[in-house]
Amino acid sequence: MATIEQKGMYRSFPRSGKDVSFTHYCPGCGHGIINKLIAEACAELGLQDRTIFVDPVGCGVFTYYYWDAAHISAAHGRASAVATGTCRARPDAVTMAYQGDGDLGAIGFNNAFQAASRGERFGCIFVNNSLYGMTGGQMAPTTLDGETTTTTPFGRDPALTGHPLHVCEVFNQLAAPVYIARVSVADTRRILQAKQAIRKMFEIERDGKGYALLEILAPCPTNFRMTAEKAAQFCITEMEKEYPLAVFRDVTKDATPLVPRDVPRAADCAALFAEKTVVPPAADDPAIAEKRFKFAGYGGQGVLSLGLTVAEAARLERRHTLWFPSYGPEQRGGSANCSVVVSGTPIGSPTVEHPDVLVCMNQPSYERFVGDVVKGGTVIVDETVPLTVAPPEGVTVVRWPAIRLAEEFGVPKAANTMMLAALKKLACTGLSGASLEAALVASFKKKPELGEKNRELLRKAEAREG
């Protein structure tokens, strides 16, 4: 039982809902001792104002009753994930997670391990009492070979449950942690060592040095079904055999925290999202009928950017517009398509079931979509595509040498620009040639010279195919 007036501890524990001054721990429980050591170290170093504790679910769940500091009570197993969020949100705080061996070793192992691997700036105090204390003494990953628990009533059998998990040794394979150690609170000498180690944990986090892990072997007399003295003895003779006390790593002397590399910076959101060319918002004009487009071909033929260019031209003319790509595994088979809707009024349904204009760069897409085109609609198809399927009645099909022209001009990648030439020449988009050209140039924002080059090619193609 904790004595009151301990440094860093509350005098009584109103956070428990009752005005009591004894802890909820069983007599002889390791948690009680560890709680006092933590409270003491935090207070002695003058860190109570700066510290944020992240508490576990396990017998340590009510640690917030006792220490005079800000606390966050995490979900079972998640204290290291929670502490990650906390220390990222408050880099100037001293963030300290507290976890049991079921909490950290089983359900939350990956969260703890990954936080350690990322080198998060928090300390993790890991209480190993070789079992699940709170839920009634079940096996934990740390349970010793042969140890009897409520879920290993015949003793832990490695043939069925594997061997005890050595958390420090596993974490010691990681590059980021600056301090990894195992201590015990089973007798006075060990408690004094543990106290030094806990102090060190606070100093590391106070100085922002990085991730630190401290495993503490602790007796659980209740679930060991032993007296407090015997339980402490079990910690020393049995647990230390499996889990030797050691400092596995201590690079805190030389550790200088990694400083993130520079990235481009913007002063604020407005600066970050500023556009070079200001496109005004769409203006409503009910006289302009809605037009629906579909652009399809093989991935790499540039059908997605062709659609984007048409959408951009519509934007330049202050039309309402949207663009929607095929995505996911659909793209991986090699075919790609996108839909574009252009309208004088806000657009309802975004899906293009029946395009007014269909552009096809390959045979599969022609075969797939030609039947959907509305009466009076236009299909522009590359001349290499055999017209294996008859178009619906009233649909005009134009065969256009997009691929051939691009090759003849020595820019095979520009087949989509050649298709844009067809769209412009046939005047089937409802958009002006000037807008289409401006949008084409704008689509090469990052390489303006390519924009001009493509405009030239587009005009050449128009002139050639007279």
Partner 1 sequence: MTKFVKGNEAVVIGALYAGCDLYFGYPITPASEIAHGAAKWFPMLGRTFVQAECETASVNMMFGAAAAGKLCMTATSGPGFSLMQEGLSYLAGAELPAVVVNVNRAGPGLGNVYPEQSDYTPAVKGGGHGNYQTFTLAPASAQEMCDLTIKAFEMAAKWRTPAVVFADGLQGQMMESVALPAAEVPRPDFSAWAAQGEPKTRANLVKSIFLDAHAQEVFNEKLQAKYEAMRADALAESCLADDADILLVAFGIGARIARTTAETLRKQGVKAGCFRPITLNPFPREQLAAAAKGRKILSLEIDAGQFADDVRLNLAKAGLGAEAAAVKMIHRMGGEVVTVDDAVKAAKELL
DSSP calls for 50-97: TEEEEE-SSGGGGGGGTBSSEEEEPPTT-HHHHHHHHHHH-TTSEEEE
* Shortest spacing between CB 187 and ligand SF4, in angstroms: 17
Does residue number 90 form part of the binding site for partner 1 (CB under 8 A)? yes
Q: Does 129 bind ligand SF4 (CB under 6 A)?
A: yes
| Cα distance between residue 90 and residue 50, in whole Å | 10
Q: How far is the CB of 125 from partner 1 (least distance, A)?
A: 16
d(CA 203, CA 304): 55
Q: Between 125 and 313, whose beta carbon lies closer to Mg ion?
A: 125
- Stretch touching partner 1 by CB under 8 A, among 28-36, 50-58, 173-181, 245-253: 50-58
Binding to ligand SF4, residues 278-297 (CB under 6 A) = none
Confirm or reject binding of residue 52 to partner 1 (CB under 8 A).
yes
Residue among 250, 319, 240 nearest 279 (CA): 319
CB of residue 110 vs ligand TPP: minimum separation in angstroms? 14
- Residue 100 as a binder of ligand TPP (CB under 6 A): the answer is yes
Does residue 126 interact with ligand TPP by CB under 6 A?
no
Region of 125-133, 144-152, 268-276, 435-443 interacting with Mg ion (CB under 5 A): 125-133
Pick from Mg ion, ligand TPP, partner 1, none: which does 64 bind, CB < 5 to 8 A by kind? partner 1
Supply the minimum distance, in Å, between the C-beta of residue 125 and ligand SF4. 14
* Binding residues among 347-406 for ligand SF4 as defined by CB under 6 A: none
429 lines the binding site for partner 1 (CB under 8 A): no
| Cα-based angle 43, 46, 52 (whole degrees, multiple of 5) | 75
In terms of CB distance, is 61 or 441 closer to ligand SF4? 61
Helices (H), 162-187: 167-171
In 3D space, the residue among 333, 331, 359, 343 whose CA is nearest the CA of residue 423 turns out to be 359
- Please tell me what DSSP assigns to residue 412: G
Alpha carbon distance 41, 352 (integer Å) = 66
Number of residues that bind ligand SF4 (CB under 6 A): 12
Structure tokens at 80: 């290291």
Using an 8 Å Cβ cutoff, are 331 and 274 in contact?
no
In DSSP terms, which residues pair with 15 in a beta bridge? none
Q: How far is the CB of 31 from ligand TPP (least distance, A)?
A: 6
The CB-of-57 to ligand TPP minimum distance in angstroms stands at 4
The interface partner of residue 286, options being ligand SF4, partner 1, Mg ion, none and the CB cut-off 5 to 8 Å by kind, is: none
Question: What residues from 188 to 247 belong to the interface with ligand SF4 (CB under 6 A)?
Answer: 220-223
Q: Is 351 in the site for partner 1 (CB under 8 A)?
A: yes
Give the contacts of 211 (CB within 8 A, at least 6 positions apart): 115, 116, 118, 119, 120, 121, 122, 123, 124, 176, 177, 178
Question: What would the x/- binding string for Mg ion be over residues 80 to 119, using CB under 5 A?
Answer: --------------------xx------------------
Give the pair of three-digit tokens for residue 349: 């349904």
> Contact region for ligand TPP (CB under 6 A) — 57-65, 185-193, 322-330, 349-357?
57-65
CB of 212 or CB of 442, closer to partner 1: 442
The stretch among 97-105, 290-298, 369-377, 402-410 that binds ligand TPP (CB under 6 A) is 97-105
Q: Determine if 120 is a binding residue for Mg ion (CB under 5 A).
A: no
Q: In what helix (H) or strand (E) does residue 333 lie, and over which residues does it extend?
A: none
CB 139 within 8 A of CB 161: yes
If you search the block for the tokens 């502490």, which residue do you land on? 83
Q: List the one residue from 239, 282, 370, 373 that touches partner 1 (CB under 8 A).
A: 282
Give me the least distance between CB of 215 and Mg ion, in Å please. 12
* Separation between Cα atoms, residue 52 and residue 205, nearest integer Å: 11
One-character DSSP codes across 192-258: HHHHHHHHHHHHHHHTT---EEEEEE---HHHHTS-HHHHHHHIIIIIHHHS--EEEEE-TTT--PP
Sole residue written with tokens 């003058």: 46
Count, residues near Mg ion per rule CB under 5 A = 4
Binding residue (CB under 8 A) for partner 1 from 75, 283, 389, 463:
75
* Binding residues among 54-73 for ligand SF4 as defined by CB under 6 A: 59
129 binds Mg ion (CB under 5 A): yes
Q: Which residues bind Mg ion (CB under 5 A)?
A: 100-101, 129, 133
Q: Which residues bind ligand TPP (CB under 6 A)?
A: 57-60, 76, 100-103, 127, 129, 132-135, 140
